[in-house]
Structure 1
Amino acid sequence: MLHLRLITPADRTDDVVAVVRETVGTAHLVVLPGAARDPSGDVVMCDIAREAADELLGELRALGIDQAGSIAVESIDLSLSKRAEEAEREAPGEAADAVLWEELTEATHEESTLSVTYLAFITLATMIAACGVVLDNAVLIVGAMAVGPEFGPLAGISTALVRGAPRLALRSLVALLAGFALAMAVTVGFSLVMDALGLFSKAKLEGARPNTNFVYAPDAFSFVVAVLAGAAGTLSLTSAKSGALVGVAISVTTVPAAANAAVALAYGDTAQTRGSTTQLLLNLFGIVLAGALTLLVQKLLWSRQRDRAPAGVRRGAS
């Protein structure tokens, strides 16, 4: 269940209440006339089944509540209520299958912001991966994958493609490209410093590396794994199962490939630079493609599921 807290202009409260009462899957409707001060207006609260929330949010935005008032949505961890159980049963579909598009757009918008924190994480992850590729240490590679924040912008691009949101696409693309460009540039300098300290060497980079040579030797499996990981990551976002993102992060070689390309560039190894860059691009493309296709399939399946529901189930009675 989700909890909605709305601030509505007094002249639109009746319309908002009518929409809430007519939307199947709602419960615990509360109206507090004149309770809001900034912005001024009435406060309307209700709980709603996740699978019915996207429709209600769309209707509230059509009434202009997001512009003239406020719409806040919170997840309810525990609700002991017979009425809430009835509302969830009445709502068509399953909560885990429902895509809350506004929530997804907001989440990807935040994760794809080009901030100092984002740049710090992707740079540190690339530097950790650089140590991993030179030392042929798989543990460091996995750690770097987990630290890397690049899935946020990739998910943002996929979401923007499906929703037709050019601003989100541009924001995500800038974060992705600028993040990797800075991380690789810093890692080149880091590699030269490590070489001067005797900790990195060209011989180590070009020696036998059975645990990490995959980062500069792309093959068909590189793309296949990226596609599977992109689909899994997108599902984890839309179903609010964020724990799966850790598994997604450590199954693709975006950050390690960028790190290997940077170290190879520092030593003038053009073969490994090209191979690592190809690996990076294959992974990025595969994740975006899979993410967009997954969202399209979810959108289609959910639309068909709602269309098959009886009219009285799709819209409740007051």
Structure 2
Amino acid sequence: MSHLLEVAGLRIDFTTRRGSLGAVNDISFTLRAGESLGLVGESGCGKSTTAYALMRLLPGNGRITAGKVLIDGKDIVAASEDEVRRIRWQDIAIVFQNAMTALNPVRRIGDQMVAALTEHQPVSRAEALDRARAIFEKVGLSPSRLMNYPHEFSGGMKQRAVIALALMCQPRILLADEPTTALDVVAQRQVLELLAGLKAEFGLSLILISHDISAVAELCDRVAVMYAGQIAEEGPTRETLLNPRHPYTRGLVASIPSIYDEITTLSSIEGVPPDLVNPPLACRFAPRCPHAQPICAQVPPPMVEVAPGRRSRCHFATQFDVLIAGKEIANVPT
């Protein structure tokens, strides 16, 4: 099966007062039709920046400086703005992180949905309203609320409305950027179940960006763990989270409290992420890694395949069990 989305060697830089900040550095991943991919990692690791780059919606001081983003073989990095407008919302759409601010507060939600469709497709207002009503029902909202203003909706209802807005042009790829932010646990569960149902019903390809590893574990076929602007590890979700092959992934998983065992202490990753204006020259996780070896501070680790469909950016990815056991490593990479 061919890839619907292919990201290759993507680099994103921001101009700051302190100099150029490499928010995303040489990341690559693919997405097949109907597949779901989770992007996880700490705040500031580049997850949301990646999503905005896929939409060509970076802020003014940000730019893609290297790499390709291919949607059905079409490179949107090299495409003109007019070409990107035709792709955006129709081929790829985004559910923005904060539903409270994603909707225009002075326009009725239905009018915003109609505008999104009529801007991209030659349909009448009446046809657009019919589709908006149908999608409102799909996301669990009453069509009678279509012409309400955003302030008349609860937080969970706003999030459903934002998802409905993203679906108006029937995109094939949906980016969900922290879709449960600022919602209570009941609303979070409802939104995740909604995304799972919509993915199945419409055959969507989904990229879920989240701090919540449990949500990614439940919803996504594959996971990519990001750290300091790079993908540290990628692979099938269950295999990657149950048997990590990178110290950062292992630390993230260990920091999640178990619902089965008594909690006496909480595990954490010591230290702070690096400064991306002046990042470490070798392994970016080495200053925080409890298993770091001399080579980790000297040579950038390559992304290596540790099993079919699994990759890790660690010098010792293929000897990981030996590394974390603290035993002597026979063959140290050079």
TM over 0.5: no
TM norm structure 2: 0.26
Which structure carries more helix by proportion?
1
Return the index of the structure with the highest Cα Rg.
1
